[in-house]
Amino acid sequence: MSAMQNNDPNKKDTSKSESQNKDRSERIAKFLARAGIASRRDAEKLIESGRVKVNGTVLKTPAFKVSPRDKVSFDGALVRKDPPRLWRYHKPPGLMTTHKDPEGRPTVFDTLSKDMPRVISIGRLDMTSEGLLLLTNDGDLARALELPSTGWIRRYKARAYGTITQEDLDTLMDGIDIDGIPTGPIEAKLERQQRGNAWITVTIREGKNREVRRALDSLGLKVNRLIRTTYGPFQLGVLEKGQVEEVKNRILRDQVGHMVDIPKIEDTPGRAKLDQTKDRSKGKRGQSKDKTNRFGTNRKPQNAKAFGAKDSRSKPGNSKHKTQRPNGNRSGKRSSPSRGRK
């Protein structure tokens, strides 16, 4: 019987052995993080503020374990722990990446479909920034993907006011200091100079606070548009502004299964896309027109060896082009056996 069914949750129950607790229970902060309510650290603050109940009793301390039989509620709503899921979202400019803004400004989560479960963001984008934002219902997954130790790149397209040379941009490979903390190498490539603006592709691996803007600012540039196009193996692709698309369970397990336990579940039709926006980017065979596939990942992800990603192009029989035969015949027609032989 659960420790919560007969006793105050703020008192320890000694009726269970430690082995039973390890097998069936987990700390309340971890449970809330897994359910997508908040990170473990923020979950502890929610508990201390009295917003979490276990079996109808307000929990006063985060030093508590819950079992599968316990009923946990947050702000009066029952918390259910679903398998980890991940969504790609094209954030438009003008939205805050927060659940509640003290100034009442619109947030990312205000615009999401009611069909979606409660989700949290993996990292943030500034209010004026746009592009790829990953959303998940699992706090542990969010934490794992935010860590610089993953080695995942974050790639941006920046439009900045000013004139710059590639030689100047190359100096960012030495990194910069943000609040006294040095960053890792910042790769910046000048795409084009258009009148008074420069278009630059910037690649980072840590994602410190306003890192891209501060890096370009250190060179005398003023960023006036910033679009994130890549986060690890996941791509913005052809998602329209405001569109949300779920990463299929199979793809999620392939890409992050080594970081967080991702149980196998069946992908059902209509589950992957929850946004009302129509995707017009598909060709006749359902393939995207850009360099990403229909799952929003690279056809051959960077750091593929790091997370065991597979390159489908290496499978035999996938080539759509006719290959040149040894005798130089490009037409694809079979040559006569008597020709080209001595």
Specify whether 140 is located in the same domain as 160.
Answer: no
Query: How far is C-alpha 276 from the geometric centre of its chain's CA atoms?
Result: 21
Tell whether 44 and 97 lie within a shared domain: no
pLDDT interval class at 276 (50, 70, 90): very low
Classify residue 96 by its DSSP letter: B
CATH number reported for the structural domain that contains residue 226 in this entry: 3.30.70.1560
Cα–Cα dist 86/106, whole Å: 22
Same domain, 166 and 214: yes
Least confident stretch, 98-102, 164-168, 327-331: 327-331
pLDDT surpasses 80 at 174? yes
- In terms of domains, do 192 and 208 share one? yes
Mean predicted confidence (pLDDT) in 214-221: 96
Joined together, the tokens standing for residue 36 give 């997508």
- Residue 316, in any domain of the structure: no
267 as an active site residue: the answer is: no
Q: Is residue 1 part of a domain?
A: no
Residue 31 belongs to some domain of the structure: yes
**Judgement on whether residues 251 and 146 belong to the same structural domain of the protein:** yes
Q: Is 24 helix (H, G, I), strand (E, B) or coil?
A: helix
Q: Is residue 180 a part of any domain in this protein? A: yes
Domain holding 55: CATH number? 3.10.290.10
Residue 285 lies in a domain: no
CB of 187 within 8 A of CB of 203?
Answer: yes
Same domain, 141 and 24: no
Q: For 222-270, write each residue's pLDDT tens digit.
A: 999 999 999 999 999 999 999 999 999 999 999 999 888 888 887 655 4
Nearest Cα to Cα of residue 31 among 52, 6, 57: 52
Residues 277 and 342: their CA atoms lie apart, in Å, by 64
- Let me know if residue 118 belongs to a domain: yes
In three-state secondary structure terms, 286 is coil
- Choose one of 78, 110, 126: the last residue of a domain: 78
| More confidently predicted of 4 and 217 | 217
What pLDDT, on the 0 to 100 scale, is given for residue 293? 53
Percent over 70 (pLDDT), the chain: 71
Q: If 0-12 CB within 10 Å is exposed, 13-18 middle and 19+ buried, where does residue 21 land? A: middle
Strand partners, 330: none
Which residues, listed in sequence order, are joined to residue 193 by a DSSP beta bridge? 198
Domain count, the chain: 3
**Token duo for residue 239:** 């998602």
- 210 touches 113 (CB < 8 A): no
Residues sharing a CB contact under 8 Å with residue 112, sequence separation 6 or more, in sequence order? 89, 119, 135, 244
Pick from 279, 276, 317: nearest CA to 296:
279
On whether both 208 and 253 belong to a single domain, the answer is: no
Lowest mean pLDDT, pick from 15-19, 47-51, 126-130, 167-171: 15-19
- Answer yes or no: is 325 within a domain: no
Reduced to 3 DSSP states, what percent helix, strand and coil does the chain have, rounded to the nearest 5?
20, 25, 55
51 shares a domain with 37: yes
pLDDT of 328 higher than 80: no
Cβ(185)–Cβ(150) under 8 Å?
no
Task: Supply the pLDDT for residue 313.
Answer: 43
pLDDT exceeds 50 at position 316? no
Which CATH number fits the domain that encloses residue 92?
3.30.70.580
Q: Tell me: do 64 and 197 sit in the same domain.
A: no
- Verify that 222 and 198 share a domain, yes or no: yes
Instruction: Enter the tokens of residue 74.
Output: 């947050």
pLDDT at residue 85 is higher than 90:
yes
Give the residue numbers spanning the domain of 271: 82-152+237-277+292-299
Question: Which is nearest to 295 in space by CA: 262, 272, 274, 314?
Answer: 272
Cβ(130)–Cβ(141) under 8 Å?
no
* Same-domain status, 244 and 148: yes
Express each pLDDT in 42-72 by its tens digit.
Answer: 888 899 999 999 999 999 888 899 888 889 9
**Active-site position among 126, 168, 261, 267:** 126
11-45: pLDDT as tens digits? 555 444 444 444 568 889 888 877 778 878 888 88
Q: What is the pTM of this model?
A: 0.65
Residue 132: half-sphere exposure toward Cβ, Cα within 13 Å: 23
Q: Residue 300 has which token pair?
A: 């051959």
Residue 245 lies in a domain: yes
What are the E-state strand segments in 240-291?
A: 244-246
Residues 147 and 242 in one domain: yes
Mean pLDDT within 315-337:
47
